[in-house]
Amino acid sequence: MKRVLLTSIAAALFAAACSHQPVQKSAALPEGVRFVEAVSATEDGITIPYKKYQLSNGLTVLIHEDHSDPLVHVDVTYHVGSAREEIGKSGFAHFFEHMMFQGSEHVADEEHFKIITEAGGTLNGTTNSDRTNYFQTVPANQLETMLWLEADRMGFLLDAVTQQKFEVQRETVKNERGQRYDNAPYGLLRERVAEALYPEGHPYSWQTIGYIEDLNRVNVNDLKAFFLRWYGPNNAVLTIGGDVDVAQTLKWVDKYFGSIPVGPAVTDMEKMPAKLDNDRYISMEDNVHLPLLYINFPTVYAFHEDEAALDILAEIMGQGKTSLLYQNLVKNQIAVQASASHPCAELACNFTMLALPNPALMQGKTLADLEAVIRKTLVEFEQRGVQDDDLIKAKAKLEASKTFGLESVSGKVSQLAYFETFLDDANYVGKDLKRYQNVTKADVMRVYEQYIKGQKAVIMSIVPKGAKQLIAHEDTYTPKPRTLPEYAPIGDTDLVYRRPQDNFDRSVKPQPGQAPGVNLPKTWTEKLANGIEVLGAEYDETPTVSLSVELNVGHRHVPVEKAGLAQLTAAMMNETTKNYSNEQFALELEKLGSSISFSAGDNYSSLNVSSLSKNLDKTLQLAVERLLNPAFTEADFARVKAQAIQGIEHSKKQPTVTANNAFSKLLFGATHPLGQPSSGTVESVKALTLDEVKAFYAQYFSPSVASIVVVGDVPKAKLLKQLNVFAEWPAQNVAQPGLPKANTLGKTRIYLIDKPGAAQSEIRIGNHALPYDATGEYYRAGLMNFNLGGAFNSRINLNLREDKGYTYGARSGFSGAEDYGYFSAGAGVRTDATDKSIVEFLKEIRSYREQGMTEAELQFLKNAIGQRDARAYETPSQKLNFLFQMMRYDLKPDFVDQQQKILREISLEELNQLANKLLDVEQMQIVVVGDAKAVLPGLEVLGYEIVRMDAEGNVL
């Protein structure tokens, strides 16, 4: 649980500190609400302005006003995570996060997601070892409804928790574990390390997801007891931020939360950093391509006086191209990846180092050789010491990261909630920054000497199956078998409910006020001297600038036999330039706190730049150096190419990637550029040469196919002068090849890719569809799909996840570009439900096509999509995406108004006609990636032709 430091908007960022206002008179507040403090902006520090209150039942309330956008963010954080679970009942905190979305006494089953979605909002919940939070961002007129919802599940949940809901969500949690842990390469790393690092029974000795055996043995009353113990208002912080009226908000908070009875007392847990007497070597075989070495030193705990220095030590050791691990492992091609970090949680922190070796250098070697290099790197740091630039770049990075973190109200709210929950001090942002600013060279060397040098660690080796000989050391530690207490079921009479007493009818859902208007970015357009079009928007809430140089060149421009060339060229553009070595460039960039990176996709290549506005001139000089003066050295090419190949090999172990690649190959064909992965294949990338990269750059990187989108707090005139550095780029004509014809697909078939032993199956179903059109049939098709598979409450997701428990999530949708498009539906499902999931997918699509959506679904669609634009343009990144969409498809800003008009006027008949036209399940191809031995018998019963494919989507 590593914190991201966030602060308030720009006005508060550089002229803000704690100013505690006088205590207000109680008469000004609703009865039962007590004013605690107010923090506002002053001249000598940094803070997030807020007001703090407390209800008589112990609920802490924080309110942050931000009227820059017509939205609000509501967060309820409970000080309970997996660390407060009982032995043998792991996973309860996360399990309960799921149950909190299943309806409460006055909110019907499946209604929580539906209400927020229909309000134009977005929502989620997260659980870690120390806290669970629930949050939603909605248009400002929906605030009362959000408070009503959160209060109802805090005070009236348990009567709505049924055995059936319990069973379905238990399966959903198992599916989540399968998808993120058991079926993911290296997915069990942290679970195994925690078992070795902490003694049995330590609160961090199990993962938040929990153990399947624990989830299997409990009943619904165990879960209810967990709620009654930890989900009282006195163990919660309610934080509200955005376009709010404080007085009215407090009235609503008092109305909906004030009568909820106080829960059992909650005290802070004892800090429990791990302690080791000896190095503990552990290992496991996994379905991975590359071995992995992971070293974990126990250190302190969150907010300990040494935490900041340890964080900076991790930056020096293993963050970025100037770090020691990068220099000694990645640059030298000993490893394809190496890093260090210092993750912290409430009770304990750990200093970790990770490396994946370059297989070209593994002949005759093991992870012990990699460990030796890492150990020597620690000695090198000790002899080298901390340099001035180490602190400068670490602190600059911190300033930049927290400044960019100010861009959303959700970011500010989450920080207030975090600091209040763990420190009882929401006004800790400035203090947190200062403890990093105050770190000295001596501090960093001291924590190295105290916590790393000569200290014991857990060293884990993960190796491919059958390659046990590659581990760093024979195992010296084996966790004892879990000793579970005898299970004693909790009966209904053992539960004592706390029932609020109200003087109003909670079953009446609040009616929102008038929907707020949408603040579309005010845009401007200019051209540089060499013809580059610039589309910009001013943004003055943070002192930052974000821009992208977009090049109309990507994977689609590459011959099939050279697949991967566009991405490899982009990767080379991130390397040495003619005037800077990698280390020099990285150091200059890090000292500015800026980021510059190239990337390439199917259709475009992008140069992405983020900078504090005060550093924009220097940052743009570096960006132009990257763009115009790539050195394209043989050493860089050898390393980057090796990394690309290993990335492809790694992706083969990821079922989601395998399924997506196979589906694309089916749609477009093996001889079509888009039928090959943009990363290329091992064979195609191995064959690429440095001369081909240089030729691709020379042919396609030109102002004639470039445009710039930019958002920042710099005035247009000044910004254009700064952007003139790109005007020196000489123009040349670039031919744009068209796409060949895609595959013609016939009747429905099942294409099966074997993944022996897979815990889940990945399913993709779909066919060709419409090219992108912002206001045409493509846009309307997206509207049509919303109720089928485009929302949490869609038919597909409710069926497969909420009703059947087959999956963690299922979806469908239309995707497209200017000249191609497709429809796809998919999910990762339980292996034993593979055939049944396909049946349900096809049943829902067929029913939707034949019977259409209902009037109620039409209204839900119109409400949800009609109101969500209120939160669509809040941050610079959202504005940048909006500008790029306009630039790419030659749209005027009023295309949003046109879409809203279409939405208001579209009829049920038109949408149902589209469903009938576009959703023919007899012409959809089905890809399944799973354990063929387990799933094939069920698939054969479905009656479709089954075609076997290899891991790269080639028919066998």
Please tell me the class of the 523-728 domain. alpha beta
Confidence of residue 96 (pLDDT cuts 50, 70, 90): confident
CA angle 80, 71, 405 (to 5 degrees): 60
Average pLDDT of every residue of the chain: 92
Among the residue ranges 319-323, 779-783, 834-838, the one predicted with the least confidence is: 319-323
Residues 392-421, mean pLDDT to the nearest whole number: 88
pLDDT > 90: percent of the chain: 77
Handedness of CA 674, 676, 679, 680 (dihedral sign): negative
Per-residue burial over 640-665, b = 16 or more CB atoms within 10 Å of its CB, e = otherwise? bbbbbbbbbebbbbbbbbbbbbbbbb
pLDDT tens column, 582-599: 999 999 999 998 999 999
Residue 44 has what pLDDT?
59
Same fold, 30-37+48-269 and 523-728: yes
936: Cβ–Cβ under 8 A, 6 or more apart, which residues? Answer: 752, 946
Give the chain's length.
Answer: 956
pLDDT > 70: percent of the chain: 97
pLDDT over threshold 70, residue 4: no
CA angle 367, 371, 376 (to 5 degrees): 150
CB distance 55 to 30 below 8 Å: no
pLDDT over threshold 60, residue 14: no
Confidence of residue 820 (pLDDT cuts 50, 70, 90): very high
Helix (H/G/I), strand (E/B), else coil: 182: helix
- What CATH number is given for 30-37+48-269 in this structure? 3.30.830.10
- What CATH number is given for 749-949 in this structure? 3.30.830.10
Per-residue burial over 123-132, b = 16 or more CB atoms within 10 Å of its CB, e = otherwise? bebebbbbbb
Closest CA to 407 of 68, 722, 52, 734: 68
pLDDT over threshold 80, residue 324: yes
Residue 7 has what pLDDT?
30
Residue 873 has what pLDDT?
86
Question: Six-digit token pair at 580?
Answer: 């800077």
Q: At what angle do helices 834-851 and 932-941 cross, to 10 degrees?
A: 40
Residues 736-740, mean pLDDT to the nearest whole number: 87
pLDDT over threshold 90, residue 540: no
Confidence of residue 480 (pLDDT cuts 50, 70, 90): confident
User: Distance between CA 695 and CA 632 in Å, rounded?
Assistant: 11
pLDDT tens column, 26-61: 448 999 899 999 998 765 567 889 999 999 999 999
Residue 12 has what pLDDT?
33
pLDDT over threshold 70, residue 19: no
Residue 956 has what pLDDT?
87
Confidence of residue 21 (pLDDT cuts 50, 70, 90): very low
Provide the residue type at 487 as one letter. Answer: Y
Closest CA to 154 of 238, 280, 41, 269: 238
Confidence of residue 736 (pLDDT cuts 50, 70, 90): confident
pLDDT tens column, 889-914: 999 988 999 999 999 999 999 999 99
pLDDT over threshold 50, residue 666: yes
Residue 392 has what pLDDT?
92
pLDDT over threshold 50, residue 8: no
User: Distance between CA 310 and CA 29 in Å, rounded?
Assistant: 45
Residues 930-945, mean pLDDT to the nearest whole number: 96
Residue 42 has what pLDDT?
63
pTM of the entire predicted model: 0.89
Pseudo-torsion of CA 460, 466, 469, 474, nearest 10°? 40
pLDDT over threshold 90, residue 23: no
- What CATH number is given for 280-406+425-470 in this structure? 3.30.830.10
pLDDT tens column, 509-523: 999 988 887 778 889
Closest CA to 866 of 834, 838, 901: 901
Among the residue ranges 24-38, 206-220, 794-808, the one predicted with the least confidence is: 24-38
Q: What ranges do the domains of the chain cover?
A: 30-37+48-269, 280-406+425-470, 523-728, 749-949
Residue 874 has what pLDDT?
87
> What does the DSSP assignment read for 873-918?
SSSHHHHHHHHHHHHHHT--TTHHHHHHHHHHH--HHHHHHHHHHH
Side-by-side strand order, sheet with 925-930: 807-817, 820-830, 760-768, 925-930, 749-754, 945-949
Confidence of residue 404 (pLDDT cuts 50, 70, 90): confident
pLDDT tens column, 420-455: 999 999 999 888 889 999 999 999 999 999 999 999
